[in-house]
Chain A
Amino acid sequence: MKPFAYVKPVDIGAAVAAGAAPGAKFLGGGTNLVDLMREGIEQPDTVVDVTGLPLSAVDDLPNGGLRIGALVRNSDLAADRRVRARYPVLSQALLSGASGQLRNMATVGGNLLQRTRCPYFYDEASACNKRDPGSGCDALDGFNRSCAILGVSDDCIAAHPSDMCVALTALDAVVEVTGTGGTRRIPLTELHRLPGQTPHIETDLAPGDLITAVELPTATGNSAYRKVRDRASYAFALVSVAAGLQIENGAVTDIRLALGGVAPKPWRARQAEQLLAGGPADEAAFRRAAQAELASAAVRPGNAFKVALATNTIVATLRELSNEGTRR
């Protein structure tokens, strides 16, 4: 690990100023950043520890929504009673991620900005456009089981690894960011960028942009998170589905669907949602919608199975939610 300077500001202004300096990196729980520093993938000159900032509260919003401080630990957020009752999809997503020890450390802000698990990104000896722009992409013809099939480019097919983000995307979360130019609010669906020809640029954030909170609008009923992976726990999603579904008289009145493990960013499945909205809530409709969403999939031999897996997992998750709906 390259030697670095360490600062721990206690107010947001100082944090933003320190973070805006060249070579500076914010440190949340450190569960991703420190790993990457050990591997030499990230080599900050200054580490700005933000865990001393007063951003650890979860507050009710007047409109019935929730405001989650950027430093709330993943474990605490998953256990929050309001989250469990009103946003079960979020609690389930958090609990399906990493391990208990990691969730105890991981923060909301850090989780939003965790980096891909593409094996070639993690290996300095490999070609990777994301790590080393212009060097090539060893994943294209290499091990790409973990890689994405939607929204990819010829330059990068890495998947965004977060579970929490998938749930937040389905919930229409908004991210609050404070930078050198003040505070702004970014819908989560717009925080991350697709790779295109610049896979090393992953978000619209500028140096010094500090994530301070995530806000959730009022909850809209039944929701669930389903994660499919290579072992029962402690593995990243091959495919995950965050879904919210409301049905009245057999017709879909509200649908939110987001996918994980299949795209370079938490993937809101708008096409599927449009097909389902107002229509019948049955297996055939779920399948048609899932297939439409995945129609544009660009697969490699190692991840071609994700089309069928994602389709089936969407159907299974919606089926489960609609069954729960009818049981009520």
Chain B
Amino acid sequence: MSIQTETTTDTAPYVGRPVERLDGPAKVSGQARFAAENHYPDMAYAALVHATIARGRIAAIDTAAACAVPDVIAVLTHENAPAMIPAPKLSLLDLSTVASATSVNYLATDEVHWNGQPVAVVVAETWETARHAASLVDLSYEELPAVVDFAAEAPNAVPERSMPLMPSKADKGKAAQALADAPFSVDLQFSTPPHNHNAIEPHATTAVWDGDQLTLHEPAQNIPWLRKHLAKRFGIPEEAVRIISPFVGGAFGGKSRAWPGVLIAAMAARATGRPVRLALTRAGVYHTVGGRTPSTQRVALGADAQGKLTALIHTSVSRTGRVGGMAEPITAASRHLYAVPNIHLSQRSVELDLLSNTFMRAPGEAIGTFALESAVDELAWRMGMDPIALRMLNEPDRDPAGGQRFTHRMLREAYTRGAENFGWHQRDPRAGARRDGPWLVGMGVATAYHPSMRMPASVTLRLHADGTVVMRCGMHEMGMGSATVQAQIVADEMGVPLASVHVEYGDSDLPPSAGAIGSVQTASVAAGVIAASTMLKRSLLTLARRAPGSPLRGRKLEDLQARDSGLHHPDGGQTYAEILSAAGRDHLEAAFKPSMLGFVARMAIDSRRWVTGASGAQFCEVRVNADTGEIRVSRWLGVFDVGTVINPRTAASQLRGGIIMGIGAALSEQTLIDGRTGRIMNPSLSEYHVPVHADIPHIDVDWLNEPDPTTPLGMHGIGEVGITGVAAAVANAIRHATGKRVVDLPITLDKLL
């Protein structure tokens, strides 16, 4: 996709300004084309057949009725589908292996590994025909015993390895002893349910083969990973795979790996020799795309008589699928939040016969902070302390678990500002003291935390003689404003009007980006933009210095300013157009390509030197109906420390979106997996309750806007920090409103009756 800016009168600096989303007009006018909206002549449509048992073998598969439906082109099953190469195993030497969402080689064997696994695909002339024929595929199974009930299996969990460079575990001092000795303590068990992604755009693939060249229109959060994965699966060179993904209709982690749909679409297209579109139904997304792990957690805290923490124990049990999935850093935030001399953090997990778990907005931290921050609140109740005062008292100066310094830490300021603006000091500290008719009113707070990371991203900048700058980077636009904020940065770095910046993104033909995962994309690409513009300016200066009579002769880049579409010194400068024309060039290009190895080495060194994270203070007011237990969030304020905010408009929207998703997790979201069959029983927007407008009050978000000295332009990723702490703030407000501590999510009304 290529987007040209509209604003013409503005001048730099653009960073920090609420520039409107550049892709907005294309989206509201319907011109933005999503994966399922690409048409090809002769295109066919595919529909999946899903297994209805959790584990076993297909005893028989009868496709006669499906094949007999007019306009059915092919019915592919394990008996006739062309073989794919098995999925590569996870290897840290090649991060693209993370794209292996499961180890299952679809339609290759008669084995069934989870309830909902695709076991056949029908290709037909219309989508309706494909779906109808899919319903006629007749399967019988030999069932094998399956382990699918998380609650029943949790006691058998085994220790989990943490992700390298992203530790969740910690052991410092003697936590159990300190807890036993503490004059004040809490020791609570929590549970959180599985969650599923509900992006507005269900996953859809349009796959086209031209000989051994594969073109895919696919909503992707990580084009380079997906491209490599597909090349391996289909035995073709990486260059033979083209992924076009200009717009992703929301993803939240659900589109970062190769789930069955994209693979089977490509397989079906190759087998039939037709362009194939496979658009999943909503239920199809639930059955073939993993979600967030459920968890049980224990948090125990010990404190001395003044409220100084002496012990912190946070342990968790989560699940993966037997066919894939990975540890989620549930206890990770507990490494960073409180100054405690004795810490024990550990994670265990069980393997179930269910689809792999996968990244979902702040995997780990979203639910880990629920337990930790609920426990801290409960300790405050037990001690009769204000929960903010308790947090302030235990705010660390260095990382509590690792001992490193923080690059940036302003939680005290966030709480101070939030308390002031939310009216915290008017809060009657007693539980159940405030009532408005049938409604009990309470306020709660909790800390938000998410680590700030970066990954390598390649960026090319091309300056044209007419002064336009084209930025090329295969980054991902999932609705968060990626192109807009990078255009702002390019405009500032190059000193050109925003309207002169063209951003090309969402295509594997472009230089590979970092994935839009782990809140890394914006900062990672910004680092690439800064590096590429420095290179470009250097080349411009070199060109200029060669020209006789250039006022830039003898100048060093450090002494120059990029502004007014040129390089300037107080004693004179030249516009880019002048430099290019003097050199007889119509354009000049700089390509920044970071090395993965160097990057990882740097990351390892940095992680020993310091800890970097986005954080915040979440303030919530709830109303709980005394008769029915209905819960309504009535006010919200999040004050965040996310470093420099590039664009207040898009940043507010990310933080707000996170908070809304957190309110969903707090009050209503839950994937219902039948413990007998492993089947998801609410795979629809009607029965999986994401918040609706009526559930969400006006949400205030605020930030401190202090740059982090170690990150590009001082920024932190903001995609995930917004959801963290939210469920705890809600639970804590409910505790204040009603006197009840609810430890099991979601907090549905029956828990308050």
A231 touches B627 (CB 8 A): no
Which among B326-334, B551-559, B745-753 touches the partner chain?
B745-753
Q: Smallest CB-CB separation from B753: which chain A residue?
A: A308
A284 to chain B, nearest CB (A): 15
**Residue from the list B681, B686, B689, B749 in contact with A228, Cβ < 8 A:** B749
Across the interface, A233 reaches (CB within 8 A) one of B679, B681, B695, namely B695
Produce 1/0 per residue, B651-667, CB < 8 A to A: 00000000000000001
The smallest C-beta distance from B295 to any residue of chain A, in angstroms, reads: 20
Query: A123, B629: Cβ atoms under 8 Å?
Result: no
Which residue of A40, A119, A232 contacts B682 across the interface (Cβ within 8 Å)? A119
Question: Is B630 close to A, CB under 8 A?
Answer: yes
CB <8 Å contact, B628 and A228: yes
Residues of A within 8 A of B750 (CB): 305, 309
6 sampled A-B residue pairs with Cβ under 8 A: A1-B131, A117-B686, A308-B753, A309-B629, A312-B628, A312-B753
**Assuming the A-B contacts A123-B681, A126-B679, are A232 and B753 also in contact, with contact meaning beta carbons closer than 8 angstroms in the complex?**
no
B550, CB-defined interface residue at 8 Å: no
Given contacts A312-B628, A313-B627, contact A143 B681 (CB under 8 A): yes
- Give me 8 other A-B pairs in contact (C-beta within 8 A), A143-B672, A312-B627 excluded: A1-B128, A3-B132, A231-B694, A234-B686, A234-B692, A235-B689, A239-B628, A309-B750
A230 proximity list for chain B (CB < 8 A): 668, 689, 748-749
Asked if A232 and B687 make an inter-chain contact with CB atoms under 8 angstroms apart, the answer reads: no
A327 within 8 A of B: no
Q: Which of A125, A235, A305 contacts B679 (CB 8 A)?
A: A125
Most chain A CB inside 10 Å of its own CB: which residue of B132, B672, B677, B750: B750
CA distance A312 to B627 in the complex (A): 6
A267 on interface, CB distance cutoff 8 Å: no
User: Top 5 closest A-B pairs, CB basis?
Assistant: A305-B750, A232-B694, A125-B52, A233-B694, A316-B627
Contacts of B748 in A (CB 8 A): 230
- Bound CA span A126–B632, Å: 34
- Whether a CB of chain B sits under 8 angstroms from the CB of A315 is yes
CA distance A305 to B695 in the complex (A): 22
**Interchain CB contact under 8 A, B131 and A228:** no
Assembly CA distance A54 to B529 (angstroms)? 66
Q: What residues of A have a CB within 8 angstroms of the CB of B677 in the complex?
A: 125-126
Say yes or no for B235: interface residue by CB 8 A criterion: no
A86-142 contacts to B, CB under 8 A, are: 117, 119-120, 123, 125-126, 138, 141-142
How would you classify the secondary structure of chain A's contact residues: helix, strand, loop or mixed? Answer: loop
The residues of A that contact B689 with a CB separation of less than 8 Å are 230-231, 235
What is the bound-complex CA distance between A142 and B668, given in angstroms? 19
Residues from 1 to 16 in A contacting B, C-beta threshold 8 Å: 1-3
Find chain A residues with CB under 8 A from B682 CB: 119, 143
Question: Please, which residues of chain B bring their CB within 8 A of the CB of A228?
Answer: 628, 630, 749
Q: Is B404 an interface residue (CB 8 A)?
A: no
A312 CA / B628 CA spacing, docked (Å)? 6
What are the residues of chain B within 8 A of A123 when measuring CB–CB? 679, 681
In whole Å, how far is B565's beta carbon from the nearest beta carbon of chain A?
Answer: 50
A126–B115 Cα distance when bound, in Å, is 12
A141 to B132, alpha carbons, bound, how many Å?
31
B753: chain A residues at CB < 8 Å are: 305, 308-309, 312
Bitwise, A302-315 to B at CB < 8 A (1) or not (0) is 00010011001101
**A contacts, CB < 8 Å to B:** 1-3, 40, 117, 119-120, 123, 125-126, 138, 141-143, 228, 230-235, 238-239, 305, 308-309, 312-313, 315-316
Closest to A305 in B: B750
- The minimal Cβ–Cβ distance linking A58 to chain B, given in whole angstroms, is 28
Question: Taking the nearest CB of chain B, how far is it from the CB of A80, in angstroms?
Answer: 24
Complex contacts, A233 vs chain B, CB 8 Å: 692-695
B215 within 8 A of partner (CB):
no
Q: Provide the residues of chain A in CB contact with B687, threshold 8 Å.
A: 117, 119
B627 closest partner in A (C-beta): A316
How far, in angstroms, from A142 to B115 measured CA to CA in the complex?
Answer: 16
Contact between chains at A40 and B691 (CB < 8 Å): no
Number of A-B contacts (CB under 8 A): 78
B77 to chain A, nearest CB (A): 18
Task: Among B52, B132, B627, B676, point to the contact of A142 (Cβ < 8 A).
Answer: B676
How far is B628's CA from A305's CA once the two chains are assembled, in angstroms?
A: 10
Residues of chain A with a CB closer than 8 A to B115's CB = 125
A309 to B115, CA, bound (A): 34
B632 touches A119 (CB 8 A): no
How far is A313 from B749 in the complex, measured between Cα atoms in Å?
12
Once bound together, how far apart are the Cα atoms of A286 and B642, in whole Å?
54
Contacts of B80-135 to chain A: CB distance below 8 A:
115, 128, 131-132, 135
Task: Write the chain B residue with the least CB distance to A1.
Answer: B132
Chain A residues near B128: list those with CB within 8 A. 1
* Alpha-carbon distance between A120 and B683 when the two chains are bound, in angstroms: 12
A24 to B165, CA, bound (A): 63
Could you say which of A3, A138, A309 contacts B749, with CB atoms under 8 Å apart?
Answer: A309
Q: Does B173 contact A (CB under 8 A)?
A: no
By a CB distance below 8 angstroms, the chain B residues around A315 are: 627
**Contact of A231 with B695 in the complex, beta carbons under 8 Å:** yes
Residues 575-593 of B contacting A (Cβ, < 8 Å): none
A40 to chain B: which residues have CB within 8 Å?
135
Q: Is B438 in the interface zone, CB < 8 Å from A?
A: yes
- Complex interface: chain A residues within 8 A of B676 (CB): 138, 141-142
- B212 beta carbon closer than 8 Å to chain A: no
Q: Which residues of B contact A2 (CB under 8 A)?
A: 132, 135
A231 touches B132 (CB 8 A): no
Contact residues in B for A312 (Cβ distance below 8 Å): 627-628, 753
Q: How far is the CA of A138 from the CA of B438 in the complex (A)?
A: 37
Specify the chain B residue showing the minimal Cβ separation from A312.
B627
Residues of B close to A316: CB separation below 8 A: 438, 627-628
Expressed in whole angstroms, the minimum distance between the Cβ of A131 and any Cβ of chain B is 14
B239 adjacent to chain A (CB < 8 Å): no
Cα distance, A315 to B692, chains bound together (Å) = 28
Most buried by B among A120, A142, A308: A142
Residue of A whose beta carbon sits closest to that of B750? A305
Cα A117 to Cα B667 in complex, Å, equals 21
Q: Which residues of A contact B693 (CB under 8 A)?
A: 233
CA distance A2 to B66 in the complex (A): 12
Flag if A231 contacts B681 (CB, 8 Å).
no
List of B residues within 8 angstroms of A126 by Cβ: 677, 679, 681
A238 and B691 alpha carbons, distance in the complex (Å): 17
Instruction: List B contacts of A142 (CB < 8 A).
Output: 674, 676, 681
Provide the bound-state CA to CA distance between A138 and B629, in Å.
28
Q: Is the CB of B628 within 8 A of A231?
A: no
When the two chains form their complex, are residues A120 and B681 in contact, meaning their CB atoms are under 8 A apart? Answer: yes
Q: Is B695 within 8 A of A143, CB to CB?
A: no
Q: Mark B506-549, 1 if CB is under 8 A from A, else 0.
A: 00000000000000000000000000000000000000000000
In the assembled complex, how far is the CB of residue A266 from the closest CB belonging to chain B, in whole angstroms? 20
In the complex, A2→B69 CA distance in Å? 11
Task: Report the Cα distance A231→B627, complex, angstroms.
Answer: 16
CB distance from A45 to the nearest CB of B (A): 14
Q: Which residues of A contact B131 (CB under 8 A)?
A: 1
State A138–B630 Cα separation when bound (angstroms): 28
Q: With the chains together, A305 CA to B748 CA distance in Å?
A: 11
A141 — nearest CB in chain B belongs to which residue? B676
CB-CB nearest in chain B for A99: B692
Contact code string B569-610 (vs A, CB < 8 Å = 1, else 0): 000000000000000000000000000000000000000000
Interfacial chain A residues near B629, Cβ < 8 Å? 309
Q: How far is the CB of A147 from chain B (nearest CB, A)?
A: 12
